[in-house]
Amino acid sequence: MALEPAITDLEQLKDRPVLAALLAWKPDAVQSAKFDRSELSIYVTRELVRDACNQLKTHSLVSFFSDLTCADFYPREPRFELAYHLLSHQRKEFVRLKVVLSGDDAVVESVTSVWPAANFFERELFDLFGIRFLGHPNLRRIMLPEDWEGHPLRKDYPVEGFR
Amino acid sequence: MGHMSQTPVLEGGQDKTMVLNMGPQHPSTHGVLRLLLEIDGEQVVRMVPDIGFLHTGIEKTCEAKFYQQVVPLTDRIDYLCPMVNNLCYVLAVEKLLGMDIPPRAQWMRVMLAELQRMSSHLVWLGTHALDMGAMSVFLYCFREREDLLRIYEMVSGQRMMTSYFRIGGLALDPPLGFFDAVKKFLGTFSEKIDEYENLLTGNFIWVDRLKGVAHLSAEDAIAMGVTGPALRASGVDWDLRRDIPYSGYENFKFKVPTSKDGDVWARYVCRIEELRQSREIAKQALDGLPEGPTKADAPKVVLPDREKMKTEMEALIYHFKIVTEGFAVPAGEVYQAIESPRGEMGYYVVSDGTAKPLRVHMRSPSYANLQALAKMCEGKLIADVVAAIGSIDIVLGEIDR
């Protein structure tokens, strides 16, 4: 299978159930969308990500929280891209919600109130990327010791040697 | 060394409770899991897992390697089923590259992934029974696991850190005698499963110890992100091999065992049935194995055969280029999820168009399953904590990463 170009036109993608539901709920919530390598990514505004998750969950458009992670595009700004991987057992497909965060204001609302499963994943991102999740019940380091300095998965943190 | 002292401990809250530290060296925590238990007599009031003792920063290491150099790192995530992790990673990168894999390589991958599932479940069964006080089952399980490790050694040269699946196919063609060895193993394995069941399923000590213990409802399991046999034992009929097939799983016929009970016993029954189903899949893969190449025709990505390097100039050049410079992967991001023996194993790989990944994230099933442990144990007895840990079959290597 040769790679097909990514579709980024909202008009072409608006029939996808998750995107359609978000657009019907609050058109402002969706910044852009991308269909690449048979995976749908939806960029959601930072302020609305928890409400968007709640909306998708209550309307049974997704049933399962699979994964939450982040990629650091340093030195580009805004540098962080959070990726929420949500699964629908019924439609048998994943959807990816994305939130873009800037380096000096890496704060986003926690989704643990919607999916308790996000608890450990958000703690991991707090630990390794230094992203803060508002409303998280126990936002502490999870992998590293409490007195560790810095956030190792940021790109400006060296791979080897002393800091 | 500051870790223990720096980690906040549970405050003994109410009058009657005390805090008990379990692990990280406790033998029944299957690695280096530390649990802080607030107990009232024999009853667990609250449980807080403390992890990170095996954290090696493997995701950071991946970012400094070429794409093909990440494969050996994925072995070390979940050391009980390295090939399943190889598979998940190579599928993710192949998706990024938009690459087709020859059917023979796909079926070999399925066969080996199922053999890995068996050996992983055998370690689970042996250690779980050992935790519950049934010593001898451990020896029986490791007898068969040894046969499987010999098969992996035969095909890849390594017993555990196999790195046998490569981007674009397999590392080598399987050697002479490999298929006979697999056939011989699969021929006798059903009887061996019966043997384990004879030791355990009718054993009233085993039944009493497992039935009704560490219950988890389907709603809780979904809310806590539980996947794999633990989810199916709670009554959710979901298996990525069947529902979102990858690597040609749509060509195989198998049942997905589920149970409504959601207790340790249900997880035991589901995994035993999975052993039988894995044997079925491996047998189908062995019997119907297509002929053909085991590597994709992509000279810029797949290392050439040794013989070709001796006779063809291009092969030698490509070999040199791949080894010294790696290969560029078109920019983009993918999330590839597969069904590991423990649940949904997912690799999220982001490429910026260079020869090294911008980000490799592993969604490990044990990490999410561990979150449900507190739910299973709170309000129950301390002795049942050990049963609950065994029943979710965690591997600390993939939790801490």
Q: What confidence tens digit (pLDDT) does each residue in B307-351 have?
A: 888 898 999 999 999 999 989 999 999 999 999 999 999 999 999
CB contact (8 A) between residue A120 and residue B346: no
Residues of chain B found within 8 Å of residue A146, distances taken between Cβ atoms: 6-8
Cβ contact A37–B334 (<8 Å): yes
Predicted local distance difference test score (pLDDT) of residue B2: 36
Tell me the C-alpha distance between B370 and B31, whole Å. Answer: 13
Query: Distance (Å) from the C-alpha of residue B153 to the closest C-alpha of chain A?
Result: 33
Residues ≥6 apart with Cβ < 8 Å to B80? B119, B120, B123, B341, B395
Q: What's the pLDDT at A19? A: 86
Same domain, B18 and B89: no
Q: Both B90 and B207 in a single domain?
A: yes
Residue B197 structure tokens: 């069941």
Q: Is B118 on the interface with A (CB under 8 A)?
A: no
Q: Cα–Cα–Cα angle for A42, A120, B375, nearest 5°?
A: 120
Q: Are residues B259 and B377 in the same domain?
A: yes
CA A40/CA A95 separation, integer angstroms: 6
Taking the CA of residue A26 and the nearest CA in chain B, the distance in Å comes to 25
Distance CA B257, CA B271 (A): 8
Q: Do B195 and B46 reside in the same domain of the chain?
A: no
pLDDT for A130 beyond 60 = yes
- AA letter at B235: G
pLDDT over threshold 70, residue B4: no
Residue B152 has pLDDT above 70, yes or no: yes
Say yes or no: B29 and B67 in one domain.
no
Cβ–Cβ contact B218 with A under 8 A: no
Both B162 and B40 in one domain: the answer is: no
Same domain, B104 and B250: yes
User: Which pLDDT does position B89 carry in this prediction?
Assistant: 93
Question: Could you give the dihedral angle defined by the CA atoms of residues A22, A27, A28 and A30, in that order, rounded to the nearest 10 degrees?
Answer: 50
Q: What pairing do the DSSP bridges indicate for beta strands A80-88 and B43-50?
A: unpaired
The residue with greater pLDDT, A5 or B192, is B192
- Chain A residues touching B332 at Cβ < 8 A: 6, 36-37
State whether B14 and B73 are in the same domain.
Answer: no
Q: Please give the Cα distance from B338 to B313 (Å, whole number).
A: 39
Q: Look at strands A64-72 and A80-88 and give their pairing.
A: antiparallel
Cα B29 to Cα B26, B109, B217, distances in angstroms: 6, 31, 23
B33 and B106 in a common domain:
no
A116/B98 CB distance under 8 A: no
Q: What is the mean pLDDT of residues B110-115?
A: 93
Picking from B101, B222, B356, B400 by the largest number of A CB atoms within 10 A of its own CB, the best residue to mutate is: B222
Stretch B285-289: mean pLDDT: 91
Number of domains comprising chain A? 1
Per-residue pLDDT for B5 more than 50?
Answer: no
pTM exceeds cut of 0.80: yes
pLDDT at B184 over 60: yes
CA B38 to chain centre: 31
A145 with B3: Cβ contact below 8 A: yes
- In order, the DSSP letters of chain A are -PPPPPB--HHHHTTSHHHHHHHHH-GGGEEEEEEETTEEEEEE-GGGHHHHHHHHHHTTS--EEEEEEEEE-TTSSS-EEEEEEEEETTTTEEEEEEEEE-GGG-EEE--TTT-TTHHHHHHHHHHHH--EEET-TT---SSS-TT--S-TTSTTS-SSS--
State whether A115 and B223 contact (CB < 8 Å). Answer: yes
Among A123, A116, A162, A119, CA closest to A142: A123
Tell whether A139 is covered by a domain: no
Give the model confidence (pLDDT) of B32-90 as tens digits: 888 888 888 888 888 888 888 889 889 999 999 999 999 999 988 888 889 999 999 99
Whether A2 has a pLDDT exceeding 80, the answer reads no
Cβ atoms within 10 Å, residue B65: 18
Residue A59 included in any domain: yes
Q: Are the C-beta atoms of B165 and B85 separated by less than 8 Å? A: no
pLDDT tens string B203-230: 888 898 888 888 889 999 999 999 999 9
Is A29 a member of any domain? yes
Q: Residue B124's domain spans which residues?
A: 58-400
- What would the mean pLDDT of A149-162 be, rounded to a whole number? 83
| Judgement on whether residues B13 and B78 belong to the same structural domain of the protein | no
Number of domains forming the structure of chain B:
2
Which of B100, B346, B359 lies closest to A85 in CB terms?
A: B346
In the numeric block, the tokens 């009704």 are attached to: B212
In this prediction, residue B1 carries a pLDDT of: 33
Smallest CA–CA separation between A6 and chain B, in Å?
A: 9
CATH assignment of the domain containing A46: 3.30.460.80
Q: Residues of B with CB below 8 A from A112's CB?
A: none
Digit-coded pLDDT (tens) for B346-392:
999 999 989 999 999 999 999 999 999 988 888 888 888 888 988 88
Q: Output the six-digit token pair for B348.
A: 């999220």
State pLDDT tens for residues A49-60: 999 999 899 888
Select the residue from B348, B356, B378 to test the A interface by mutation, using most A Cβ atoms within 10 A: B348
Between CA B126 and CA B145 the distance in angstroms is 10
Minimal C-alpha gap between B223 and chain A (Å):
6
The sign of the dihedral angle between the CA atoms of B225, B19, B388, B43 is: negative
Contacts of B250 in chain A (CB under 8 A): none
pLDDT one-digit tens code per residue, A17-75: 888 888 888 888 888 888 888 889 999 998 889 999 998 998 888 999 999 999 999 88
Q: Say if CB B28 and CB B361 are below 8 A apart.
A: no
Its domain, for residue A100, covers: 10-107
Question: Domain check: are B117 and B164 in the same one?
Answer: yes
Q: In terms of CA atoms, which chain B residue is nearest residue A2?
A: B98
**Confidence at residue A1, expressed as pLDDT on a 0 to 100 scale:** 59
Cβ-in-10-Å burial (0-12, 13-18, 19+) of B117 comes to: buried
Q: How far is A32 from chain B (nearest CA, A)?
A: 16
Same domain, B41 and B93: no
Whether B273 has a pLDDT exceeding 90, the answer reads: yes
What distance in Å separates the CA atoms of residue A65 and residue A85, rounded to the nearest whole number?
Answer: 7
Residue A157, min C-alpha distance to chain B (Å): 10
Over residues A140-158, mean pLDDT: 88
> Whole-number mean pLDDT of chain B?
88
Q: What is the pLDDT of residues A78-114, one digit of tens each?
A: 899 999 999 999 889 999 999 999 888 889 999 999 9
